[in-house]
Amino acid sequence: MKKILIGIAALFLIMAAIPAIIWLPRANFESDSDNGGGKPSSESASSGKKASASGGDMSKNGFLLLCADESQKTLSEKEALSGALAAIIPRDCADEAGYAIAAALYSRLSTLRESRRSGKIKFELCEKGREAPTFLSKDKACENFGNEFYAACEEYADYGLNTRLEYEGKPIDARIFKSCGGVTENALDILGEAIPCHKSVPSPWDMTCDIKSTASYTVDEAKKIISEKFGIKNIPSDPEKYIKIKSRSSGGTVLTAEICGENKTGIEIMNAFSLSSPSFETAVSNKNIIFSVSGSGVPVGMSIFGADGMARQGSDRGEILSHYYPDCEILSNDAS
Same-domain pairing of 74 and 173: yes
Same-domain pairing of 287 and 323: no
- Give the C-alpha separation, 146 to 144, whole Å: 6
pLDDT of residue 28: 25
Same-domain pairing of 103 and 165: yes
Q: Is 139 exposed, middle or buried (0-12, 13-18, 19+ CB in 10 A)?
A: exposed
Residue 146: alpha-carbon gap to chain centroid: 25
Whether 15 shows a pLDDT value over 50: the answer reads no
Average pLDDT over residues 209-236: 94
Same-domain pairing of 88 and 157: yes
- The residue range of the domain holding 324 is 63-178+317-335
Short-list 159, 150, 105, 92, CA closest to 132: 105
Short-list 25, 26, 303, CA closest to 177: 303
pLDDT of residue 130: 67
Q: How many domains does the chain have?
A: 2
Whether 94 shows a pLDDT value over 90: the answer reads yes
Over pLDDT 70: what percentage of the chain? 81
Each residue of 260-283: pLDDT tens digit? 999 999 999 999 999 999 999 999
pLDDT of residue 60: 62
- Give the C-alpha separation, 13 to 333, whole Å: 49
Same-domain pairing of 139 and 79: yes
Same-domain pairing of 173 and 321: yes
- Give the C-alpha separation, 131 to 134, whole Å: 9
pLDDT of residue 335: 55
pLDDT of residue 90: 95
Whole-model pTM: value is: 0.79
Residue 333: alpha-carbon gap to chain centroid: 23
* Pair 200, 273: CB distance under 8 Å: no
pLDDT of residue 29: 22
Residue 1 falls within a domain, yes or no?
no
Whether 161 shows a pLDDT value over 60: the answer reads yes
Same-domain pairing of 155 and 224: no
Each residue of 43-69: pLDDT tens digit? 333 333 333 322 233 346 799 999 999
Q: Can you state the angle between helices 147-161 and 77-88, rounded to 10 degrees?
A: 120
- Give the C-alpha separation, 331 to 334, whole Å: 9
pLDDT of residue 334: 74
Same-domain pairing of 121 and 174: yes
- Give the C-alpha separation, 313 to 320, whole Å: 11
H-state helical runs in 123-209: 138-145, 147-161, 187-191
